[in-house]
Amino acid sequence: MNSRTTLTQYLIEQRRRYPEASGRFNNLILDVALSCKAIARAVAFGRLADMHGHHLHNDVASVNVQGEVQHKLDVYANQTFVDMTATNGHLAGMASEEMQEPWQIPAALPRGKHLLVFDPLDGSSNVDVNMTVGSIFSVLRAPDEVIASGRDVRSEDFFQPGAQQLAAGYALYGPSTMLVLSVGHGVAGFTLDPNLGEFMLTHPDIQIPADTQEFAINASNSRFWEPPVKRYVDECLAGKTGPRGKDFNMRWIASMVAEAHRILMRGGVFMYPRDSKDPSKAGRLRLMYEASPIGFLIEQAGGRASTGHQAALHIKPSDLHQRIGLVFGSRNEVERIERYHAEPQPLNWHNPLFAERSLFMD
Ligand code: AHG
Ligand code: MN
Ligand code: MN
């Protein structure tokens, strides 16, 4: 490992595959990295910089398009992404968890070929308790007609399956700040050197082990789970003496980005499946700025990302803020969960007798 390789050097090396590349794509990734450095500083100052708590508008906590209360850091991180990526001519437009509609590059500024989609701060319920949070981003190519005309972007311009992403990544604001990135040829991890202010290549080729004994799910939702998920978790909990023949560990941080990072580092499986808690929602997590970029990284590292029924990267979005059920991580475990979904469901799963077999039930 050459820990003297900077993010900039890595990007230049990667781009040698494309002799016609203009450098704009690399500059966009560097603008995103700069946004993440700024957000990392704000996170690190915490309450000292008045960065905890809800964002107030006319003394009332503001609410985003998801109907979720915005934290100060959600709003700050969103504005930082916009300010640091809008002006350099790389983008045709952008979209974010915190903005209902696509954000237009002002007419006075040059417009580029790329679309940037981001979750400026993932896991923001963890901010006030000083736990790990992160930023997630996805880069798409704008449709040719948008590039040619330079017109304002529309939501439909972003509706591309995750498999079409040119790049995806996240920054993790944990004990150390990291940037984990894929430009379509594997996954590389960079650690922020606080002395130099540079992201240094520390994890050159991240691979997820195909097998694992660790799973992550919010067990408080167990009564709303569908039978395949309930079966999978029950079998993990049954441990050595159950059908899996081995003991499992369970983790839940409530920052998906942190769970994804743990899984990229040592394997595991993460589930936020579709459930019956709120039938109006197809899942908890958002397709375009959570599931697609994380799914891209996981698959680039040899893992798998799925709804349980189909590959997450094959879904064509129909709404910027669309939600989906999501399962990702070690390939053999995710494929097992998909098999459980594909098998005929027990006819009697509404029957309380079936529910009694669940170890999460009284
Ligand atoms: P965000 O902070 O961007 O709204 O996302 C939070 C998400 C995800 O990071 C995490 O896995 C999940 O919400 C936590 O959900 P629970 O509160 O149900 O644990
Ligand atoms: Mn999020
Ligand atoms: Mn968020």
Q: pTM of the prediction?
A: 0.94
How much is the average pLDDT of 319-347?
A: 95
* 195 CA from centroid of ligand 1 (Å): 32
Percent of the chain with pLDDT over 90: 85
Q: How confident is the model at residue 51 (pLDDT cuts 50, 70, 90)?
A: confident
User: Can you tell me the mean pLDDT for 241-255?
Assistant: 97
Please check whether residue 90 is in contact with residue 141, taking contact to mean a CB–CB distance below 8 angstroms.
no
Q: What's the distance, CA 323 to chain centroid?
A: 12
Interval 203-217: pLDDT, tens:
999 999 999 999 999
Closest among 93, 98, 87 to 114, alpha carbons compared: 93
List the domain boundaries for the chain.
7-203, 214-354
- The answer to whether the 7-203 and 214-354 domains have the same CATH topology is no
How far CA 16 is from CA of 11, 169, 209, 296, 350, in Å, comes to: 9, 20, 29, 22, 57
> What single DSSP character describes residue 2?
-
Model pLDDT, residue 323: 97
CB of 217 closer than 8 Å to CB of 51? no
Say what the pLDDT of residue 124 is: 93
Does 269 have pLDDT greater than 70? Answer: yes
- The band of 1, judged by pLDDT with boundaries at 50, 70 and 90, is very low
- Worst-scoring range by mean pLDDT, 15-24, 50-59, 107-116, 351-360? 351-360
**Domain 214-354 carries which CATH code?**
3.40.190.80
The secondary element (H helix, E strand) that includes residue 171 is strand 167-173
Q: What pLDDT sits at residue 360?
A: 53
pLDDT digits (tens, 9 = 90+) for 11-45: 999 988 888 888 899 999 999 999 999 999 999 99
Q: Residue 351: what pLDDT?
A: 46
Percent of the chain clearing pLDDT 70 (strictly above):
95
Compute the distance between CA of residue 345 and CA of residue 336 in angstroms, rounded to an integer.
15
Instruction: List, as ranges, residues with CB under 5 A of the ion ligand 2.
Output: 119, 122
Q: How far, rounded to the nearest angstrom, does the alpha carbon of residue 299 sit from its chain's CA centroid?
A: 13
Is any atom of ligand 1 closer than 6 Å to the C-beta of 218?
Answer: yes
256 lines ligand 1 (CB under 6 A): yes
Check residue 290 and report its DSSP letter: I
Q: Is 126 in the pocket of ligand 1 (CB under 6 A)?
A: no
Ligand 1 atom nearest to CA at 125:
2
The tens digit of pLDDT for each residue in 81-93 reads 999 999 999 999 9
Q: 7-203: which CATH topology? A: Fructose-1,6-Bisphosphatase; Chain A, domain 1 (3.30.540)
Supply the pLDDT for residue 355: 46
Q: What is the pLDDT of residue 53?
A: 86
For 310-332, how does the pLDDT look when each residue is reduced to its tens digit (9 = 90+)?
Answer: 999 999 999 999 999 999 999 99
* Six-digit token string for 186: 């594997």
Q: Decide: helix, strand or coil at residue 41.
A: helix
Range list of H helices, the chain: 7-15, 24-45, 72-85, 144-149, 227-238, 256-266, 292-300, 331-342, 352-356
Q: Is the dihedral of CA 132, 72, 78, 97 positive or negative?
A: positive
Hunting for tokens 């079409």 — which residue is that?
164
Residue 118, pLDDT score: 98
- Which residue puts its alpha carbon closest to atom 17 of ligand 1? 254
Between 271 and 63, the more confident residue is 271
The string of pLDDT tens digits covering residues 171-181 is 999 999 999 99
